[in-house]
Each structure stands twice: as C-alpha cells, then as structure tokens.
Amino acid sequence: MKIELLSPKEAQVLPKKHEAKGLFVTATGTDMGKTYVTALLVRALRQAGYSAGYYKAALSGAQSVEQSDAGYVDRIAGIGQEKELLLSYWYKNAVSPHLAARWEENPARLEKILRDYRAVCSRYEYVTVEGSGGIVCPIRWDEEKHLLLEEIVKAMGLGAVVVADAGLGTINAAVLTVEYLRSRRIPVRGVILNRYSGGEMQEDNLRMIEALSGVPVIALVADGDRELNCPGETLKALYE
C-alpha cells in the first residue's frame, strides 16, 4: 500500500501559537453517536471556559454543511466556527468516503487535511476531530493513492476515544475497536457508552469492556442527554 509521506514541514502538525490539543473521536461503527457525543464534549469544554473547536476530514451523505455532522456540532456546542474550518472534504453520496470521492471525482489529499487541521488548531485550544464511520475507513482508494482514516489520525498525532453502544453486542465491538487502534499505535484514552439506560446487562457491559480492553469507560450518555456527565478536568485530560 502506498502511504503518503510527510515532508518535515507537514509533519510539524501542532501550531506554535496555541499549542492546541486534539482528540480523535471514533466509534464501533457508523451511526453509533460520534457526532452526538462530540457535540456534548465540545459543549462541555466550552461551558467550562475552554476554547474548543471541531474538525472532520471527510464527510459523506450530507446535502449541506449546516445539515451535516459539522453543522450539528457547531450549533449544539455553540462554537460559531467558520464553515470552511469545520471540514475538508464533503461528499453528497451516503457511501464510504473513498467511494464517494471516486464517484464525485474529488479525491482527498493528506496535505490539505493536515493544513486544514492546523488552521483549526491555530484558532482553538482544544480540537475534537470526528472520524468517519468506524476505525477501519478508507478515505481515498484509487490508482494513484490509498489513504486510510488511521493514517490521518497518526499524522495528526492524536489519541482516541471510542463511542460504543451501551447494549447487546458492545463488548465484542468495543474491544475489537480498542485492539485495532492499539495495533496501529493510536493511544486509546477511553470509551464512552452511548444510549446508556442502566440495568444489569449494561452495567456488566461496562465492567467487561474495562476488564477486557484495559481502557476506562469515561462517560455514560443516555438517550436524549443534553449535557455530558463528566468533569471538565477529566475531559481536558483526554486531550493531553
């Protein structure tokens, strides 16, 4: 597989001005609640008085930026971020970014993604980067180049949190995702269980995910939650 190599200049991801801190939000799959949880995360940071922004490298299946994940997080978290700074590639077709990129003839470039990410970092102190789909996600796959989501995360030097559903099947999905991230040397800071409603099975899921993955469950998000139940200091530490 061809991997885009970074020039020394490109590899210097963190901007000098702010020393921004980033966090990558992934999930056990698509539609697990990355956007929902990211909005609560960024909102909680902002409510705690921190400068916090959002970035997504490639988004597919939205008809406008406002209706997209980026628009949602911007609204719910009250960021007021410039549209151009929210995301780099926006595809209309609701398929994996690599396929949408092919259909729409707009292949993603790592250099542009890193440049855009740096621009967000120069504006905000805490930058939450939402992934596309789960952790195994081709962003570009054509004759010229192959680019996987994980390569973008590595190039940005980010640690990750994993959003997983609280219910049946989550032990397998969460542990597999954590192990995959580890195999790629992406540090995993924690798991967030979404649509948590309590009860013996879900409480056991939480304990088993922690026991089998060695990663703490750092927050529980219930259906319809408007706030993230997690102290500002704990949140901040995820970005270190």
Ligand X SMILES: Nc1ncnc2c1ncn2[C@@H]1O[C@H](COP(=O)(O)OP(=O)(O)OP(=O)(O)O)[C@@H](O)[C@H]1O
By the rule CB under 6 A, 27 interacts with ligand X: yes
Strands 146-148 and 87-91, how do they pair? Answer: unpaired
Residue range at the interface with Mg ion (CB under 5 A); choices 14-22, 61-69, 111-119, 143-151: 61-69
How far apart are the C-alpha atoms of 203 and 57, rounded to whole Å?
34
Binding pattern for the stretch 82-121 against Mg ion, x by CB under 5 A and - elsewhere: ----------------------------------------
Nearest to 154 by CA among 6, 30, 33, 39: 6
DSSP for 11-52, written as a single string: H--S-TTT--EEEEEEESSTTSSHHHHHHHHHHHHHHTT--E
Tell me how many degrees the CA angle 203-163-212 measures, rounded to the nearest 5. 55
Residues of this chain, 175-234, that bind ligand X according to CB under 6 A: 194-195, 221, 223-225
Binding pattern for the stretch 12-51 against Mg ion, x by CB under 5 A and - elsewhere: ----------------------xx----------------
Catalytic residue among 17, 21, 56, 145: 56
Residues of this chain, 120-139, that bind ligand X according to CB under 6 A: 133
Residue 224 touches which of ligand X, Mg ion, none (CB < 5 to 8 A by kind)?
Answer: ligand X
CB of 35 vs ligand X, minimal distance in Å = 3
Sign, Cα dihedral of 58, 61, 63, 66? negative
Task: Please work out the total of residues on this chain that contact Mg ion, with binding judged by CB under 5 A.
Answer: 3
User: With contact defined as beta carbons under 8 Å apart, do 175 and 182 qualify?
Assistant: no
Other CB atoms within a 10 A radius of the CB of residue 49 amount to: 8
CB of 47 vs Mg ion, minimal distance in Å = 21
The helix (H) or strand (E) run that includes residue 129 is strand 126-130
From 20, 23, 28, 34, residue interacting with ligand X (rule: CB under 6 A): 34
Amino acid at 16: K
Residue range at the interface with ligand X (CB under 6 A); choices 34-42, 79-87, 97-105, 179-187: 34-42
Q: Is residue 56 annotated as part of the catalytic site, yes or no?
A: yes
> Which residues of the chain form contacts with ligand X (CB under 6 A)?
27, 30-36, 69, 133, 194-195, 221, 223-225
> Which residues of the chain form contacts with Mg ion (CB under 5 A)?
34-35, 69
Which residues participate in catalysis according to the annotation? 56
